[in-house]
Amino acid sequence: MKRSHNGYIWLPISHLEIDAWQRLSGEEVDPWELRAINAMDIEKTKLLNAPKDDSSDVLSSRPVTPDLFDALF
């Protein structure tokens, strides 16, 4: 099964996707397995959609001066 994304957040695995997987694979998911998949998927979706630490994206707080620009390029 592939997890889908709507452009903003990761979406949970739907029962329709699980049903399609069952039909295509010939496997059958028991009710307790479906509950376990849903519980794990809720936690996985929370992790995937958690806010990122934006401080790691900061390269430098130095202002770009002509000398710095020339040094970089």
Q: How far apart are CA 29 and CA 19, in angstroms?
A: 9
Total structural domains within the chain:
1
Q: Is residue 35 part of a domain?
A: yes
Check: CB of residue 11 under 8 Å from CB of residue 45.
Answer: yes
pTM of the model: 0.61
Summarize pLDDT for 32-71 with one digit per residue, the tens. Answer: 999 999 999 999 899 888 887 766 556 667 777 888 777 7
Q: Is residue 40 part of a domain?
A: yes
Q: Is residue 2 part of a domain?
A: no
Q: Is residue 1 part of a domain?
A: no
Q: Is residue 6 part of a domain?
A: no
Q: Is residue 62 part of a domain?
A: no
Q: Is residue 25 part of a domain?
A: yes
Q: How far apart are CA 24 and CA 1, in angstroms?
A: 11
Q: Domain range for residue 23? A: 12-49
